[in-house]
Amino acid sequence: MAPKSSKPTAATGGKTKPAGKSAAKSAANASDKRAIKPATAAPVLADVRAKIDEIDRTIQALIAERANFAHQVGKAKGKLAAAVDYYRPEREAQVLRMVVDRNEGPLSDEVLVHVYREIMSACLAQQEPLKIGYLGPEGTFSQQAVLKHFGRSAVGLPMATIEEVFQEVEAGNADFGVVPVENSGQGTIQVTLDMFLTSNLKICGEVELRVHQYLLSRNGRLEDIERIYAHSQSFAQTAGWLRSHLPKVEKIAVSSNAEGARRARNAEDAAAIGGESAAHVYGLKKVIMKSIEDDDDNTTRFLVIGRQIFPTSGHDRTSVLVFIHDKPGALFDVLSPFARHGISMNRIESRPSHQAKWEYGFFIDLAGHVEDEAMKQALAELEAHSAQIKVLGSYPVAIP
């Protein structure tokens, strides 16, 4: 029996197509349609952005709620004389440590601390902004330390000298001051320690600032530089780089890196060493080279000075100034009480007393707060072996 002949159908338009090729082509077309979905990406992106907007609304509402509660804290404290009376550095330190402890990423501890510092700064400014004296002018690392510790809602007051910062805080014209005390590579800033010999101000906090030195100029051409302006500390911190790259260039020391930037902006053949903030403030838009410091871990420690000692934050440092009797074993007698009571010593440095020839005072940083029982006992024993002891302050350990 002969096979039936096939008939044309509407689907083939009157033409017969080989079944194998048609099926393969149809499958390929279907596969292409599944692979290329241009309309799919936009809805997904829109959904993500919508979720971010929802989160932002929640964050903003919670910040406003936090600000309202912070204002209630101010009301609970009653009518106080000034902004400084509302400020509690030990409480801020506790809050920031909780932020760090809760952090599970992806943002770094440093980023989250910065965000919360600004929130607390803005909340405190509802009462009255803090006035903070610092070694100016604008654009210095001291100003960066102020911003890191107090946030942008505080009012910065640039001073010409470290001595002036102390004087303005003592006079009540500034609520607090921020002064450099030591650099990881260059050591102690002696004038700051010397001020504590006669000043009654107290250390209320500390700031550790990672210092990056930039080479800045108007035109950004290394070969055009004939002279460089910078503070002597910055020259010391970049000495190796300068020897290697600009050995014959004139180096002119000035009162601050900001002053160096101010001078360099007016000359095509001049450059300045300083931080990124100095470049912005003084219009040096060309960064010839970033991070020219010789020490990759170049860090400067600043002290926050005020007129009182605050309660313990739970993780503190105490600084004392001790004058000892001129006798054998005197320094051993000073250090022994701390060892007996299990108190770690973070730093010790001697300075001339400026009161009698060959008389020295010892600046000592200790782990703990003056209210801690072990510290009380150690200081009581120390008093019996010292000509004079002066507690410079107990304050929260710096938060990164």
Does an H or E element contain 181, and which? strand 176-183
pLDDT tens digits for range 284-312: 877 889 999 999 899 999 999 999 999 99
Q: What pLDDT score does 240 carry?
A: 96
Q: What pLDDT score does 185 carry?
A: 87
Q: What pLDDT score does 78 carry?
A: 67
Residue 223 has pLDDT above 50, yes or no: yes
Residue 365 has pLDDT above 80, yes or no: yes
pLDDT tens digits for range 76-116: 776 655 667 789 999 999 999 999 999 999 999 999 999 99
Residue 263 has pLDDT above 50, yes or no: yes
CB 30 within 8 A of CB 36: no
Strand partners for 299: 210
In the numeric block, which tokens belong to residue 73?
A: 């804290």
In the numeric block, which tokens belong to residue 250?
A: 């004139």
- Rounded to 5°, the CA angle 268-271-272 comes to 145
Residue 14 has pLDDT above 50, yes or no: no
pLDDT tens digits for range 233-249: 999 999 999 999 999 99
Residue 30 has pLDDT above 90, yes or no: no
Q: What pLDDT score does 29 carry?
A: 52
Instruction: Tell me the average pLDDT across 274-282.
Output: 87
Residue 18's pLDDT band (cuts 50, 70, 90): very low
Q: Please give the domain boundaries of the chain with CATH numbers for all domains.
A: 55-125 (1.20.59.10), 131-211 (3.40.190.10), 214-297 (3.40.190.10), 309-396 (3.30.70.260)
Residues 373, 268: Cα–Cα separation, whole Å: 61
Tokens 């002053």, located at residue: 259
Please provide residue 275's backbone torsions phi and psi, each rounded to the nearest 5 degrees: -85, 175
Closest by CA to 135, choosing from 294, 290, 300, is 300
Q: What pLDDT score does 9 carry?
A: 41
Residues 335, 84: Cα–Cα separation, whole Å: 35
Q: What pLDDT score does 1 carry?
A: 44
Is the Cα torsion angle 264, 265, 266, 268 positive or negative in sign? positive
Q: What pLDDT score does 39 carry?
A: 52
Residues 325, 394: Cα–Cα separation, whole Å: 25
